[in-house]
Chain A
């Protein structure tokens, strides 16, 4: 893995969608680790080294929303893009409130998904941790 290669964790229970996203992401030069369930994802030893998470909302076992909460509880502040079939405003606002950075409704255009991932990564790279100086 080169230093510039971005690591993406993908969580999607539908095999066809998961495979297609993985193929397209790999074509973009990302290093993709794909999981079918949230439980498997949370077992990953390299969560902290991941650059972006792409999660499905409705999943077997724990939901994408719960995975987001647990990732944030673990102190992982990397961008999370939620992919879901739910397109109502309330669900969207709830997810954004719970720590999701972006939201894409199914069925989506693969190019749009890739573009959004690039935007989130760019924004994340430009972000600098604020430093507070104080006199002791």
Chain B
């Protein structure tokens, strides 16, 4: 129990750390504000005392000068006034005293109030900026921690995706060596093993392309591609994989022989990933419709499937790197979560774009690859 508590505390240690730092900073800011306020009070008291001392000195000076004085402001001192005193039999000489004027005392108090307000204002501002800075730092660390966790999960998925086909193929070869397999069973298992090899090949390709894109090393050989023909060829050459998929290519309003400026390998990788995802998530009677459209000299290649679809608000998150939408997409399907991210990056590298849309869960999904149209010079 205690061990679990400490393990939990260790996991959430950044929360605890930030709470402590925040509390310390707030305490320091509060203490500093009160300290400055106390200094202002002391300074005000000193000013008041000094004013009365100065008044005493002026009284003495005037009395010693033995000049006739009238009640009113002391000549040359606008902050002090002469006040006539009530006659007293004991007092000798002129009967008056000098006092700081009420305006002067009020101005001193106003000055004190102003400085106090300023200190509290500055203190609050400092406190607020400390809070904001701490919150931002906390968010930054939280994001970094989450990114680390996502990366860890990503490599877990990659490990799973690498090890699973190897395990299957190894088990198959071991069983084959023992002579247990024969006839139709053998043929069926060979097909399964080949599918595992294809899966491994796709994964290796994605990891390599992903790394190249990340490091900015991806070289694309841009060519002129007749896009409809290219996709028809792709479907034809991947007959084995697409055997159980009903495909339809609809050029729509696309002029015949429409050419796009694209890298054939990248387009190939994008199609591989889209078809792989459709197979992974789609139903047994999977249907893929390829349609085309031209908009502002860009060719939109749409791949529509009859798979499970996704909530429309997740459309953009599908392309997040190293992330699979756990709980938001059909559960338990294996994969690394890097396929669509790579597709979009490749499309963007070719000067295009990639988007996804769906009307909701159970309505299928449409992935659109936008490629630059190559306009032939007359």
A residues contacting B by CB (< 8 A) are: 13-17, 19-21, 23-24, 27, 37, 58-61, 85-87, 106-111
Q: Which of B51-92 contact A (CB under 8 A)?
A: none
Q: How far is the CB of B327 from chain A (nearest CB, A)?
A: 12
Residues of B within 8 A of A21 (CB): 171
A111 to chain B: which residues have CB within 8 Å?
A: 174
Report B173-197 residues with CB < 8 Å from chain A CB. Answer: 174-175, 178, 180-181, 189, 192-193, 195-196
Specify which chain B residues have a CB less than 8 angstroms from the CB of A87 in the assembled complex.
Answer: 159
What does DSSP make chain A's interface, helix, strand, loop or mixed? loop
CB distance from A70 to the nearest CB of B (A): 16
Q: Which residue of A lies closest to B175 (CB)?
A: A20
Find out whether the CB atom of A14 lies under 8 angstroms from the CB atom of B174: no
A-B pairs, top 4 by smallest CB distance, nearest first, are A60-B332, A20-B171, A16-B168, A107-B167
A61 with B331, Cβ < 8 A, contacts A14-B164, A20-B175, A86-B156 known:
yes
Known: A16-B171, A59-B332, A85-B160. A107 touches B166 (CB 8 A): yes
Query: CB distance B167 to A17 under 8 Å?
Result: yes
Name A15's contact: one of B170, B180, B192, B331 (CB within 8 Å): B192
Task: Say yes or no: B180 contacts A85, CB within 8 Å.
Answer: no
**CB neighbors of A among B324-375 (8 A):** 331-334
In the complex, whether B209 has a CB less than 8 A from a CB of chain A is no
A23 to B159, CA, bound (A): 26
A19-B189, A61-B332 in contact; A85/B163 too (CB < 8 A)? yes
Is residue B96 contacting chain A, with contact meaning CB distance below 8 A? no
User: Could you tell me if B180 and A23 are in contact, using CB atoms closer than 8 angstroms?
Assistant: yes
A-contacting residues of B (Cβ < 8 Å)? 156, 159-160, 162-164, 166-172, 174-175, 178, 180-181, 189, 192-193, 195-196, 331-334
Please tell me if the beta carbons of B160 and A16 are within 8 angstroms of each other in the complex. no
**Given A19-B189, A23-B181, A24-B175, A106 contacting B164 (CB threshold 8 A):** yes
Docked Cα-Cα span, A107 to B334, in Å, equals 17
Q: Give the chain A neighbours of B167 by CB distance below 8 A.
A: 14, 17, 85, 106-108
* A-B CB contact pairs (8 Å), 27 listed: A13-B334, A15-B192, A16-B169, A16-B172, A16-B192, A17-B164, A17-B168, A17-B171, A20-B171, A20-B174, A21-B171, A23-B175, A24-B174, A58-B160, A59-B332, A60-B332, A61-B332, A85-B164, A86-B156, A86-B160, A106-B164, A106-B166, A107-B170, A109-B170, A110-B170, A110-B174, A110-B175
Q: What is the chain A residue whose CB lies nearest that of B191?
A: A16
Inter-chain contacts of B332 with A (CB < 8 A):
13, 37, 59-61
Majority secondary structure of chain B interface residues (helix, strand, loop or mixed): helix
Q: What separation, in Å, do the CA atoms of A23 and B331 have in the docked complex?
A: 28
Q: Is A106 within 8 A of B169, CB to CB?
A: no
Which of chain B's residues have a CB closer than 8 A to the CB of A85? 159-160, 162-164, 167
How close is A132's CB to chain B, nearest CB, in angstroms?
26
B-chain residues with CB within 8 Å of residue A17 when the two chains form the complex? 164, 167-168, 171
Q: Min CB distance, B279 to chain A, in Å?
A: 14
Q: A16-B195, A20-B171, A61-B332 are in contact. List 19 more A-B contacts (CB 8 A).
A: A13-B332, A14-B168, A15-B192, A16-B171, A17-B167, A17-B168, A20-B174, A23-B175, A27-B178, A58-B160, A85-B160, A85-B163, A106-B163, A106-B164, A106-B166, A106-B167, A109-B174, A110-B174, A111-B174
Instruction: Give CA–CA (A110, B172) in the complex, Å.
Output: 10
A58 to B196, CA, bound (A): 17
In angstroms, Cα B171 to Cα A60, docked, is 21
B residues near A109, Cβ cutoff 8 Å:
170, 174
Quick check: B172 and A20 within 8 Å, CB to CB?
A: yes
Most buried by B among A17, A37, A61: A17
How many angstroms between the C-alpha atoms of A37 and B332 in the bound complex? 10
Q: Which residues of A contact B166 (CB under 8 A)?
A: 106-107
Cβ of B181 to closest chain A Cβ, rounded Å: 7
CB-CB nearest in chain A for B162: A85
**CA A110 to CA B180, docked complex, whole Å:** 13
Across the interface, name the chain B residue whose C-beta is closest to A17: B168
* Measured CA separation A86–B162 after assembly (Å): 11
Question: Which A residues lie within 8 Å of B333 (CB)?
Answer: 60
When the two chains form the complex, which single residue of A13, A19, A86 contacts B159, counting CB atoms closer than 8 Å?
A86
Chain B positions within 8 Å of A15 at CB level = 192
Min Cβ gap A110→B in Å is 5
Residue of B nearest to A56 (CB): B164
| Complex interface: chain A residues within 8 A of B193 (CB) | 16
Considering the chains assembled together, what is the distance between the CA atoms of A24 and B178 in angstroms?
Answer: 10
B171, A110: Cβ atoms closer than 8 Å: yes
Whole-angstrom CA separation of A19 from B162 in the bound complex? 19
> Known: A23-B180, A27-B180, A86-B160. Contact between A16 and B189, CB under 8 A?
yes
